[in-house]
Amino acid sequence: MPPEGAAGRLGAARRRPEPPLCATGLWRDGWYRFARPLRSPNFGPRPAGADIDLIVLHSISLPPGLYGGDQVQQLFTNRLDWDAHPYFGSIRGLEVSAHFYVRRNGELWQFVSCDDRAWHAGASSWRGRANCNDDSIGIELEGIEGGPFESAQYETLASLCPALAQRHPIRFIAGHQHIAPGRKEDPGAGFDWCLLREQLGWDGAMFPPDTIDR
């Protein structure tokens, strides 16, 4: 029998699940439906009128070259045990984040709403604008600078980037090495820009010039 009276209605309301995220499409308040959410405290508001037209690709692994752990998630949420590995001492106190993180198996995590400013680029400049954090989306790939990446990671990028372009006026995609040359080298020579261009079908003018003929 259906519940009767106020108490019954209240009980039914408490039991009623929230609408599934898929009911609202790919995005909800800057959060992507197909990413596993884990909120980072390391973010801030974008400047008023920011034109979010750039995707920045990075590489990261903690400790460098070791994959499969949850240390990257811990770093982005300020929970990393700095004494757990000798390398962590060199980054002690670092407060950073990215919008997305793509594991070696293609699993996708999201730490910051795309509506907000993640702390991934640092001192940087691209398409005549400085401070790329202000108007970019940062995507970290589990890997090392110069090392190869997995097919599953390219497949995830090939679905994520068009989804971003549906929500934002994406006109450029670059590596951290391109927006902060001399300071950063990721994702590095091991990243296959030609493969990504083929998968996305995007115009070559959207990519860094040094990746066009590779």
Catalytic residue numbers, as ranges = 140
How distant, in Å, are the alpha carbons of 22, 111, 114 from that of 117? 25, 11, 7
DSSP assignment of 155-179 equals HHHHHHHHHHHHHS---EEEEHHHH
**Which among 150, 114, 143, 96 has a CA at the least distance from the CA of 33?**
114
Rounded-to-integer distance, Cα 204 and Cα 200, Å: 11
Query: Cα angle at 121 between 115 and 126, to 5 degrees?
Result: 95
49 torsion bin: left (phi>0), alpha (psi -120 to 50), beta (else): left
